């Protein structure tokens, strides 16, 4: 299953400059997802992080991983933000950064379901660049109905 940016926008409420997923290349409902983010020097955060040595902030790498977790969660329960639901990032464990993410990198984002119960999901996540680990984390998301 592949998702282009138009379908991704149906499953994530995020918009520029905070939509951090460009394409989904693999998705197995209830199990796993593989997606990517093309990192460009045109990203607004590079103006200040850092002007003479631009690197993607680690918190945004974790956010990108959380966004793919949200897509997998929505696909698994067959709901959409348009139905009045959101997935909140509610926790992260064992976060480790192994290499910087820089302009020109293609950041591959992977998440595997560890468990899901009563709208709370835990995922094992990895972000890589050219097969090299950039970040790993366990991410917890919670499904919520919003008014």
Q: What are the residue numbers of the active site?
A: 49
User: Omega into 59 within 30° of 0, i.e. cis?
Assistant: no
**How many Å apart are CA 76 and CA 57, to the nearest integer?**
29
Q: Report yes or no: 34 and 110 within 8 Å, Cβ to Cβ.
A: yes
Burial annotation 49-87 (CB, 10 A radius, 16+ → b, else e): eeeeebbbebebbbebbbbbbbbbbbbbbebebeeebbb
The tokens for 63 are 């956010």
* Tokens (6 digits) for 79: 């709901």
């Amino acid at each position: 299953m592949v998702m282009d940016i138009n379908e991704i926008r149906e499953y994530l409420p995020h918009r520029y400059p905070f939509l951090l997923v460009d394409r989904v290349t693999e998705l197995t409902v209830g199990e796993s997802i593989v997606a990517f983010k093309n990192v460009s020097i045109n990203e607004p955060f590079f103006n200040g992080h850092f002007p003479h040595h631009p690197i993607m902030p680690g918190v945004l790498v974790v956010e990108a991983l959380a966004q793919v977790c949200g897509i997998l969660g929505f696909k698994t329960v067959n709901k959409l933000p348009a139905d009045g639901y959101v997935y909140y990032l509610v926790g992260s464990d064992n976060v480790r950064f192994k290499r910087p993410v820089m302009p020109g990198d293609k950041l591959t984002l992977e998440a595997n379901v560890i468990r899901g119960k009563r709208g709370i999901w835990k995922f094992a996540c990895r972000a890589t660049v050219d097969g090299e680990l950039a970040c790993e984390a366990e991410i917890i998301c919670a499904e919520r109905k919003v008014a």
